[in-house]
Amino acid sequence: MLDPKTGKYIPSEFEAELIKALRSGKYRQLKGVLRGFNVNKEIGFCCLGVACDISGLSVWNYSGYLGDHTSLPRAVKEKLNWSSENGYIRDYEDDIYVTDLAVLNDMGFTFDQIADIIEAGLIVHQDEI
């Protein structure tokens, strides 16, 4: 949603919680899976795994989160109102999808950088397609 006065994107309540969690320093970043272990056997998360962890929709188990290991389960995607399970990112100048959060996470973008992308409103939402 855009602020009618400033034109600035206003994150949904759950997106704001995700932004806060990504910037909190509470989560170790991991690539390739929603949640797993790093080489030191410490639990880590990809940015989408952080969304799962704070969603309150289920608990983690051997089958991941609500049965998914590498992308957002449908229930979490719907809670975020995102159009895709990987968080498509739009290039507003060309109105095309250029990449997604899962790719950026695995390329080494930090949680802070990913939070900035979400906060800027660059994620394609369900009501935009």
68 vs 38, which has greater pLDDT?
A: 68
Strand (E) positions, 1-129?
35-37, 43-45, 60-61, 64-65, 88-91, 96-100
Answer for the pair 90, 97: CB distance below 8 angstroms, yes or no: yes
Residues 45 and 43: their CA atoms lie apart, in Å, by 7
pLDDT over 90 percentage in the chain: 78
96 vs 70, which has greater pLDDT?
A: 70
Residues 16 and 34: their CA atoms lie apart, in Å, by 19
Considering the entire predicted model, what is its pTM? 0.92
Task: Assess whether pLDDT exceeds 90 at residue 91.
Answer: no
Would you state the pLDDT for residue 43? 94
Mean of all residue pLDDT scores within the chain: 92
What Cα–Cα distance (Å) separates residue 128 from each residue in 19, 50, 90, 95? Answer: 21, 24, 11, 11
Tell me the mean pLDDT in the region 32-49.
94
